[in-house]
């Protein structure tokens, strides 16, 4: 319950709504309670009228008019209150979602490494839905219901404390019985949620990679997987529903007995003239008025439990502290030259399991430095550390002598442009994707960047040019096209430090040569860190740093390293060797044909 109040406290600015809802709920309860009194009044009038030979009908007609008036008022109050409740919960939903999203965006890369995308999104939807749904129902129904119950008990108590005591007993008893059932029911429900989560998670994966599924003819297998999990939910529902309804019969029997006691008492007392007919009619109505909420109680208990669980999840995520955080008073980074230096850097994705060991090297200002090494040696990791997506565990990284852990992250990333190994683009137009790195760019800037990335020609071949939609709703780009858009995006950022992680790996040799020209132009005067497997890409760099098992193996110019027998010369031999072999194979093919 405390958690739910904390949720309301989160949106203190909504207090006018809270007040309005409370006021209208009171009005609603009062008008709902007025009708039984008016009917009592009518009964009294009728009993009196039946004593005289020629009774006047007008007094009872006026009571009927009063009932109409009260009913109309009740309708108005209910709807205005309902409107306020809807708006309040919609606003609450917006605020909670925004806070959640804002907070998630601040969390470090390591959080996203651990959690599945689906899980993060599901959690956002589920927790916020459950919390706001409960608050909406509470505002529109439950609160008014609880108020009415309290008023009924007070009024009944004035006429008969015995009846009031029975009513006071009924509520907690029924709530307790429901809560008992609800716990077990909820466990089954969680099992069912888990099954559907697994099925839907796999479903989403299958849809996203349908080509793989089809090519390995695994549709049937995937379908059966889906079907099996849903079948399990049916099996659970059998037990769950059976249990719920058994318990419901029991609960209602208890309830029916208590109401039997109330009516028997009421009727007997009336016959013994302790109550007038009018009072009896009033009390019967009040007791009936309190019956409805009892059945909604189970609903209330159920939804409260869900909402509490939901808000607990919400606050759990909200209390995660970003582990990569700006120091208080962290200054903005300035990059006069662009000298990047790694000094004895060690890092592991898990604390004890280092991927990178004591790495030291410099990427000189305005020069090209290549990182060379076999797959999985830690090259991409080194670039992530430079962007401070993770904090180093030992050593330091400096830019022009400033330790990057001491400056604001935003100012650091402003100075680095990256072409990622996997050129992820967003849905949206080509224009939007290129301008993503610089929202102030003009159309001419974007076109120039596209030209420099050798992407302009293929973009103009699309019907809508730069306005072509890509991604889910639009056209699909080839791997090489995506890569060139990603290069254009980096070009447009115009940052002094440039990271190219396999930037040309999806291009054919001809396109690579063209893009290489663009990149050469781009790299001029910028500190560039290049990761490439193809040696042609790095033949003209100023410095090569070879990485082996997460350590720096050799550092030197391409010509220096070609002479040692380190990784670079090994790769050189391998790639030249394969080219020669290929040539020979082709020659033989020529002779044969």
Residues at the interface with Mg ion (CB under 5 A): 380, 421
- Least distance between Mg ion and beta carbon 357 (Å): 17
The residue nearest Mg ion at its CB is 380
Binding partner of 378, given ligand ATP, Mg ion, none, CB within 5-8 angstroms per partner class: ligand ATP
Residue 503 token pair: 């930037």
| Distance separating alpha carbons of residues 348 and 270, to the nearest angstrom | 82
- DSSP conformational letter for 399: E
Cα 156 to Cα 164: distance, rounded to the nearest angstrom:
6
Judged by beta carbon, residue 376 or residue 577, the one nearer ligand ATP is: 376
Q: Give pairs for 159-165: CB < 8 Å, separation 24+.
A: 159/275, 159/279, 159/282, 159/283, 160/265, 160/266, 160/269, 160/275, 160/283, 162/265, 163/262, 163/265, 163/266, 163/283, 163/287
**Comparison of 130 and 501: residue with beta carbon closer to ligand ATP:** 501
What Å distances lie between residue 179 and 1, 154, 301, 393, CA to CA?
15, 26, 7, 49
User: In whole angstroms, how close is the CB of 380 to ligand ATP at the nearest point?
Assistant: 3
The answer to whether the CB of 222 falls within 8 A of the CB of 171 is: no
375 binds, among ligand ATP, Mg ion, none (CB under 5 to 8 A by kind): ligand ATP
Q: Which does 570 bind (CB under 5 to 8 A by kind): Mg ion, ligand ATP, none?
A: none
344 or 376: whose CB is closer to ligand ATP? 376
Centroid of chain to Cα 426:
18
Q: Which does 381 bind (CB under 5 to 8 A by kind): ligand ATP, Mg ion, none?
A: ligand ATP
Least CB distance to Mg ion at residue 370 (A) = 13
User: Is 273 in a helix, a strand, or coil?
Assistant: coil
Q: Are strands 469-470 and 368-372 parallel, antiparallel or unpaired?
A: unpaired
Residue 200 vs 421, nearer CB to Mg ion: 421
Query: Looking at beta carbons only, is 104 or 340 nearer to Mg ion?
Result: 340
| Minimum CB–partner distance for residue 501 and Mg ion (Å) | 6
| Residue 377 binding: pick among ligand ATP, Mg ion, none (C-beta 5-8 Å cut-off by kind) | ligand ATP
Query: 106 Cβ partners below 8 Å, 6+ apart?
Result: 322
Q: Minimum Å distance from CB 359 to ligand ATP?
A: 12
308 interacts with, out of Mg ion, ligand ATP, none, CB within 5 to 8 A per kind: none
Give, as one character, the DSSP assignment of residue 424: -
* Distance in Å, CB of 390 to ligand ATP, minimum: 9
433 binds, among Mg ion, ligand ATP, none (CB under 5 to 8 A by kind): none
Q: Which does 27 bind (CB under 5 to 8 A by kind): ligand ATP, Mg ion, none?
A: none
Identify which of residues 81 and 550 has a Cβ nearer to ligand ATP in the complex. 550
H-helix or E-strand spanning residue 418: strand 416-419
Q: State the SS3 of 293-349.
A: HHHHHHHHHHHHHHHHHHHHHHHHHHCCCCCCCCCCCCECCCCCCCCEEEEEEEECC
User: Cβ of residue 408: shortest distance to ligand ATP, in angstroms?
Assistant: 24
As a whole number of angstroms, the distance between CA 372 and CA 556 comes to 12
Task: Tell me how many degrees the CA angle 472-474-476 measures, rounded to the nearest 5.
Answer: 80
In whole angstroms, the minimum distance from the beta carbon of 382 to Mg ion comes to 9
Q: Which of 124, 552 has the CB closer to Mg ion?
A: 552
* Cα torsion angle, 439, 441, 447, 453, sign: negative
The residues binding ligand ATP (CB under 6 A) are 113, 349, 355, 373, 375-381, 421
Q: Are 155 and 287 in contact (CB under 8 A)?
A: no
In whole angstroms, the minimum distance from the beta carbon of 383 to Mg ion comes to 8
- Cβ of residue 413: shortest distance to Mg ion, in angstroms? 19
The distance of closest approach from Cβ of residue 382 to ligand ATP in the complex, given in angstroms and rounded to an integer, is 7
Nearer residue to ligand ATP within complex by CB, 362 or 380: 380
Paired residues of 500 in beta bridges: 419, 530
Q: Which is nearer to ligand ATP, 309 or 389 (CB)?
A: 389
Give whichever of 276 and 380 is closer to Mg ion, judged by the CB atom.
380
Q: Based on CB atoms, which residue is closest to Mg ion, 128 or 531?
A: 531
Long-range CB pairs of 104-108 (<8 Å, 24+ gap) are 104/317, 106/322, 107/320, 107/322, 108/322, 108/323, 108/324, 108/389, 108/390
3-state DSSP assignment of residue 453 = coil
């Amino acid at each position: 319950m405390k958690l739910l109040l904390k949720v309301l406290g989160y949106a203190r600015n909504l207090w006018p709504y809270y007040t309005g809802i409370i006021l209208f709920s009171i009005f609603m309860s009062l008008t709902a309670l007025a009708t039984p009194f008016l009917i009592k009044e009518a009964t009294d009038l009728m009993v009196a009228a039946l004593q005289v030979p020629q009774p006047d009908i007008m007094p009872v007609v006026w009571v009927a008019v009063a009932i109409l008036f009260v009913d109309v008022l009740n309708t108005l109050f209910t709807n205005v209150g309902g409107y306020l409740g809807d708006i309040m919960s919609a606003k609450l939903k917006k605020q909670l979602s925004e806070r959640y999203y804002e907070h998630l965006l601040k969390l470090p890369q390591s959080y996203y490494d651990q959690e599945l995308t689906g899980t993060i999104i599901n959690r956002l939807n589920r927790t916020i839905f459950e919390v706001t749904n409960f608050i909406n129902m509470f505002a529109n129904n439950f609160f008014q219901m609880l108020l009415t119950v309290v008023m009924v008990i007070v009024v009944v108590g004035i006429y008969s404390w015995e009846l009031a005591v029975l009513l006071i007993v009924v509520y907690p008893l029924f709530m307790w019985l429901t809560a008992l059932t609800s716990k077990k029911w909820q466990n089954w429900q969680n099992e069912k949620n888990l099954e559907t989560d697994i099925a839907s998670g796999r479903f989403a994966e299958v849809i996203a990679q349908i080509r793989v599924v089809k090519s390995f003819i695994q549709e049937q297998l995937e379908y059966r997987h889906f079907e099996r999990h849903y079948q399990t939910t049916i099996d659970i529902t059998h037990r769950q529903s059976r249990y719920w309804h058994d318990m419901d019969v029991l609960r209602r029997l208890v309830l029916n007995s208590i109401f039997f006691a109330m009516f028997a008492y009421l009727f007997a007392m009336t016959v013994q003239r302790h109550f007038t007919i009018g009072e009896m009619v009033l009390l019967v109505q009040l007791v009936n008025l309190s019956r409805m909420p009892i059945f909604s109680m189970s609903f209330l208990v159920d939804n409260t439990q869900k909402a509490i669980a939901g808000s607990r999840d919400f606050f759990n995520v909200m209390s995660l502290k970003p582990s990569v955080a700006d120091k208080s008073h962290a200054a903005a980074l300035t990059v006069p030259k662009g000298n990047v230096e790694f000094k004895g850097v060690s890092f592991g994705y898990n604390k004890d399991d280092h991927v990178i060991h004591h790495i030291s090297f410099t990427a000189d200002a305005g020069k090209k430095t290549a990182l060379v090494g076999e797959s999985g040696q830690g090259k991409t990791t080194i670039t992530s550390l430079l962007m401070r997506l993770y904090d180093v565990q030992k050593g330091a990284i400096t830019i022009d002598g400033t330790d990057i852990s001491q400056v604001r992250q935003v100012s650091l990333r402003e100075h680095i442009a990256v072409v990622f190994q996997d050129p992820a683009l967003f849905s949206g137009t080509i224009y939007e994707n290129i301008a993503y790195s610089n929202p102030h760019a003009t159309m001419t800037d974007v076109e120039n960047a596209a030209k420099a990335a050798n992407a302009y020609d293929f973009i103009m071949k699309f019907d809508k040019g730069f306005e072509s939609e890509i991604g889910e709703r639009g056209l699909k780009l080839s791997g090489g096209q995506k890569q060139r858009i990603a290069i254009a995006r980096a070009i447009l950022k115009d940052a002094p430090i440039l990271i190219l992680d396999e930037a040309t790996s999806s291009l054919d040799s001809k396109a690579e040569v063209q893009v290489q020209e663009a990149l050469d132009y781009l790299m001029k005067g910028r500190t560039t860190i290049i990761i490439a497997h193809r040696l042609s890409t790095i033949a003209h760099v100023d410095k090569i740093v070879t990485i082996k098992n997460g350590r720096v193996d050799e550092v030197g110019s391409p010509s220096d390293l070609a002479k040692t027998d380190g990784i670079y010369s090994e790769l050189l031999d391998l790639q030249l060797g394969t080219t020669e072999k290929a040539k020979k194979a082709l020659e033989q093919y020529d002779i044969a044909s």
